[in-house]
């Protein structure tokens, strides 16, 4: 049980969770489960969930817990996630964190770390308003901080880059508000004195260059794994 790497990435919108997860996936060969990506795929496919999800996402609101919890619990039970996972965008409320805890305990598993990527709101507004994504692969760029080689098109497959619907200024403001009121308490939940798994929360300065942020996350993962074997 201790050799599994079960990581949760937490951070405000635009903190760089997706950017860092893509690096982790390459190095650790684990399934990357991003609720936002799953929901956007459902919106694109016009599924029943997608139609419901779009109403919340376009306003920067969270979907009701009951819609998300079952989706993620099912995903975690698939074979590829049984030897570890990287979760991005879940849990995003305390009830979601409680549901994850119960499922992990029932499966005799535990989280390895909750990696909190910290970035102040003023930087996040710049990051989100300048983000451009490949609608097919989800590959992410930034017009200033990480521009594609040719403006507006993906470096790898040449697809025209788009701006996410929820990266419009009025929606960004609400997403930040929702993060502070509903998701930040999840960090306190994992850090509470009576929590079973002490020292789970690991904070990372997300204002640095993406490669530097990644070096810190890698070092942290190595430390946590070492601690786990002691
Ligand atoms: P989701 O897709 O999870 O959005 P989010 O949490 O708002 O996160 P983002 O994807 O916007 O940001 P990120 O941290 O991944 O940043 P990125 O790496 O792209 O969720 C969307 C919606 O789905 C929610 O609003 C909600 O409606 C719904 N939802 C999802 N999960 C849910 C749940 N569990 N319960 C209920 N509802 C749920 O980076 C951002 C930009 O910054 C990029 O352009 C990047 O190039 C740049 N960048 C990254 N790192 C750096 C750096 N170090 N320096 C400079 N620029 C950087």
Q: Is residue 156 part of a domain?
A: no
Question: Could you report the per-residue pLDDT of 86-141, keeping only the tens digit for each?
Answer: 999 999 999 999 999 999 999 999 999 999 999 999 999 999 999 999 998 888 99
The total domain count for the chain is: 1
Q: List ligand 1's pocket residues with C-beta within 6 A.
A: 11, 13-19, 35-36, 39, 56-57, 60-63, 68, 89-90, 92, 96, 127, 131, 140-142, 145-146, 166, 175, 206, 209-210, 213
HEC string of 161-188 equals CECCHHHCHHHHHHHHHHHHHHHHHHHH
* Residues of the domain holding 214: 5-121+167-229
User: What pTM was estimated for this model as a whole?
Assistant: 0.94
Within-domain flag for 139:
no
Nearest-CA neighbor of 14 among 137, 146, 111?
A: 146
* Tokens, residue 173: 């403001």
Residue 127 lies in a domain: no
In which band, very low, low, confident or very high, does the pLDDT at 160 lie, cut at 50, 70 and 90?
very high
Atom nearest to 141 CA in ligand 1? 46
130, part of any domain: no
Ligand 1: which of 18, 72, 122 to mutate, most ligand atoms within 8 Å of CB? Answer: 18
Task: Report the C-alpha gap between 11 and 1 in whole angstroms.
Answer: 26
We report the CATH number of the domain holding residue 191 as 3.40.50.300
Whether residue 40 is contained in a domain is answered as yes
Q: Is 191 inside a domain boundary?
A: yes
Q: Mean pLDDT over residues 43-58, rounded?
A: 95
Which distant-in-sequence residues (6+ apart) come within 8 Å of 25 by Cβ? 32, 86
Q: Flag whether pLDDT at 2 surpasses 60.
A: no
In a domain, 28, yes or no: yes
Residue 55 is assigned to a structural domain of this protein = yes
């Amino acid at each position: 049980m201790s050799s599994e790497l079960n990581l949760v990435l937490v951070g405000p919108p635009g903190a760089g969770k997706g950017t860092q997860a893509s690096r982790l996936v390459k190095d650790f060969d684990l399934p990357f489960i991003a609720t936002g990506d799953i929901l956007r795929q459902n919106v694109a496919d016009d599924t029943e969930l997608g139609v419901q999800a779009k109403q919340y996402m376009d306003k920067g609101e969270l979907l009701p817990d009951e819609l998300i919890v079952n989706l993620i619990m099912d995903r975690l039970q698939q074979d590829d996630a049984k030897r570890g996972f990287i979760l991005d965008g879940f849990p995003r409320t305390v009830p979601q964190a409680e549901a994850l805890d119960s499922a992990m305990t029932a499966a005799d598993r535990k989280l390895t770390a909750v990696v909190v990527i910290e970035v102040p709101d003023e930087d996040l507004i710049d990051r989100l308003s300048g983000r451009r994504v490949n609608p097919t692969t989800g590959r992410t760029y930034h017009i200033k901080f990480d521009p594609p080689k040719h403006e507006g098109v993906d470096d790898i497959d040449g697809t025209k880059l788009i701006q996410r619907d929820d990266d419009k200024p009025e929606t960004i403001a609400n997403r930040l508000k929702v993060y502070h009121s509903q998701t930040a308490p999840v960090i306190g939940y994992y850090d509470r004195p009576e929590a079973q798994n002490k020292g789970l929360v690991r904070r990372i300065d997300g204002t640095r260059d993406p490669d530097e942020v990644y070096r810190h996350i890698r070092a942290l993962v190595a430390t946590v794994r070492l601690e786990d074997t002691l």
